[in-house]
Amino acid sequence: MADNKDNNSGVIKGPGWILTKLEWLINWGRKRSPWPFPYGTACCGIEMMATLASGYDMARFGAERVSFSPRQADILLEAGTITKKMVPVLRRIYDQMAEPKWVIAMGACACSGGVFRSYSTLQGIDKVIPVDVYIPGCPPRPEGLLYGLLKIIERIEKDHPLYKEAMKFKESEGGRICNF
Amino acid sequence: MQLLERIKGCLGGLIIDISEFHGDIAVEVDRFKIVEALTRLRDDESLSMNFLSDLFGLDNKAFYEKPKKKAKKGDAEGEEEEKPKELPPRFEVVYLLLSLKTNERMMVKIRVPEDDLEVSSVTSLYKAATWPEREAFDMFGIRFKGHPNLKRLLMWDDFPAYPLRKDYPLEGRGEERSLVYGD
Ligand code: SF4
């Protein structure tokens, strides 16, 4: 890039190359638009709404648009109590989300069942779906949720999407044939 | 006239027991006569209890059995022969009524024994009874004859127990295992 640059004006002449890792570029794009699917089932949902609204403004960190369709969401933001009757719904929504996907368990209820240690409540959503970030509290403060979102973003930064794909291909039949 | 007198005049011989506690009036009637009693209370000119604010089941098992256990601990050897007192029926169904005309409230209850859990539904009198009756069925297993759609309200359909009964453990018996996750 340096060769093409006129030192005096700062204007790029010529083709203007950028050299980077494709993985870095993918992660850069992903971490700046983690659209959440708001799954607010109880009181924690109210706190989630407060975080999304203008006071705390979760959009600052790229969660610009809450996606009400699981197919366009990146993060399942599970805020609230999950009853055992609702488990198939939660599981189905998780399955409908396209890869890559992350899950935030917000609040004591989503993490462990919370105060509802009873026959009707699921004792932690990690019994049915994998969870990336647990946020304790009953309910957690909006700062807590923002911190959780930043943790997810950190996680996305450290991800190796292409390497993972390559490993998957290596283990598949096609990978064995071409001796990858 | 006082509410108590008016209720007595309206129900007459249907009353098994009537009591007043801090201004709340509770009437017990026979479980086979509940529809008749509620019809009278609703249609009576001076009462017109035309609003059913709630209906729920009640399990008295723990309440009845506690004093029995205490007595056993006290004298472990001696008076075991003593005849156990006959317990009143285990379940109750309670109807909370409100009169929108006079703004007065009252409570009607019936007792339901464990071995015959059938009660006639009052959905023909009060539309509001449909969901509470389903809830009482869901939680206690009390069946309401004549209910248009008697199935579980809160738990899933093939849940195998009645969770608000006193002999059901709070944390359940692991019923979620019978749930099918996904398809
Ligand atoms: S953790 Fe607390 S605030 Fe959140 S859903 Fe559970 S009970 Fe409500």
Higher pLDDT, B121 or B66: B121
Residues 6+ apart with CB under 8 A from A131: A103, A104, A105, A111, A125
Least confident stretch, A81-90, A127-136, B62-71, B73-82: B73-82
pTM for the whole structure? 0.77
Task: Name the percent of chain B lying above pLDDT 70.
Answer: 84
pLDDT band at A9 (very low <50, low <70, confident <90, very high): low
Per-residue pLDDT, averaged over B55-65, amounts to: 84
Total structural domains in chain A?
A: 1
Q: By residue range, what is the domain housing residue B72?
A: 2-178
What is the pLDDT at residue B158? 81
Least confident stretch, A28-42, A164-178, B30-44: A164-178
CB contact under 8 A, B172 and A120: yes
Tell me whether 0.95 is exceeded by the ipTM.
no
CATH number at residue B38: 3.30.460.80
Ligand 1 centre to CA of B161 (Å) is: 27
Q: Is residue B183 part of a domain?
A: no
pLDDT band at A103 (very low <50, low <70, confident <90, very high): very high
Q: Which residue from A minimizes the CA distance to B169?
A: A119
Q: What is the pLDDT of residues B103-144, one digit of tens each?
A: 999 999 999 998 888 999 999 999 999 999 999 999 999 999
Q: By residue range, what is the domain housing residue A79?
A: 2-177
Per-residue pLDDT, averaged over A4-26, amounts to: 73
Q: Is residue B121 part of a domain?
A: yes
Q: Assess whether pLDDT exceeds 50 at residue A40.
A: yes
CB contact under 8 A, B163 and A95: no
What is the pLDDT at residue A1? 46
Nearest by CB to residue A118, choosing from B156, B171, B181, is: B171
Nearest one of B58, B164, B60, B163 to B108, comparing CA atoms: B58
The neighbour count for residue B117, using CB atoms within 10 Å, is 17
The neighbour count for residue A178, using CB atoms within 10 Å, is 8
What is the pLDDT at residue A160? 85
Which two three-digit tokens encode residue B128?
């509001």
What is the pLDDT at residue B12? 85
CA–chain centroid gap for A137, Å, is 20
CATH number at residue A162: 3.40.50.12280
CA–CA min distance A84, chain B (Å):
7
Total structural domains in chain B?
A: 1
